[in-house]
Each structure stands twice: as C-alpha cells, then as structure tokens.
C-alpha cells in the first residue's frame, strides 16, 4: 500500500485549482472478505464530491460492481494533491493512476478507464 501511495504522489495535475477545475480523481480500497489477504484499489473520476460518489457506488447507483461489493473506504491522501482539475485531465489521470498502481505491483486494480 505504501508503494502505491508513493507512486500516486509522483503524478501531477497541470490544471489543479484553475477556475474551471471541477473534476476529481479518487481511490477506493478494495477488500474481499472471502480472501483476507486479497486487497486492491479502484480508481475513478467524478464531477461530484468523491465522498458522495463513493456513497453512490455503495448504494448501487451508477456503481462499479467491485466498489459496491468490496469497497471499504476512500483513500483521499493518495490524490488530494491532484484535485480539483479539468475534466480532460481527470480522465487522463484516472488511467495514469491505474497504470501506475499496476506497475508498482498492486495485485488488484479496477477502474481507470
């Protein structure tokens, strides 16, 4: 998990804080209780508050199945330095975060598309 957090901190948003920056990326911790050693990360992007979006996932509204079933908590400290940003950049960074997590060996990565 520490390697994933360090890897996320290497990414930067060029539009962070701009006047039209209304989008965010977010990371959710995934855990499968059927396999206690299995954990992963879900990467998403939203124009809403990430806490609100996480609640939507858990309630099943426009939900990722992985987050609905296995999402345990948001990990805002992974991405706070990136938010808010412009929409085009949130899409790019969503994919970049997922790729970065895979590269550093996170065993289960969802989202990032």
Identify whether 77 is preceded by a cis peptide bond (ω within 30 of 0): no
Pairing of strands 24-31, 71-74: antiparallel
pLDDT at residue 41, as a whole number: 98
Model-level pTM?
0.96
> Number of structural domains, the chain?
1
Q: For residue 23, what are the domain limits?
A: 2-111
**Paired tokens of 2:** 């520490």
Q: What pLDDT, on the 0 to 100 scale, is given for residue 44?
A: 98
Residues 13-16: contacts with CB under 8 Å, at least 24 apart: 13/82, 13/83, 13/85, 13/89, 13/93, 14/89, 15/85, 15/86, 15/89, 16/81, 16/82, 16/83, 16/84, 16/85
**pLDDT digit string, tens, across residues 60-83:** 998 999 999 999 999 999 999 999
């Amino acid at each position: 998990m520490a390697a994933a957090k360090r890897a996320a901190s290497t990414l930067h948003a060029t539009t962070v804080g701009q006047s039209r920056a209304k989008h965010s990326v977010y990371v959710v911790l995934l855990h499968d209780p059927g396999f206690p050693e299995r954990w992963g990360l879900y990467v998403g992007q939203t124009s809403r508050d990430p806490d609100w979006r996480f609640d939507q996932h858990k309630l099943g509204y426009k939900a990722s199945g992985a987050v609905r079933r296995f999402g345990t908590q948001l990990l805002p400290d992974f991405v706070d330095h990136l938010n808010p940003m412009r929409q085009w950049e949130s899409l790019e960074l969503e994919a970049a975060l997922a790729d970065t997590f895979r590269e550093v060996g996170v065993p289960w990565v969802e989202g990032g598309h």
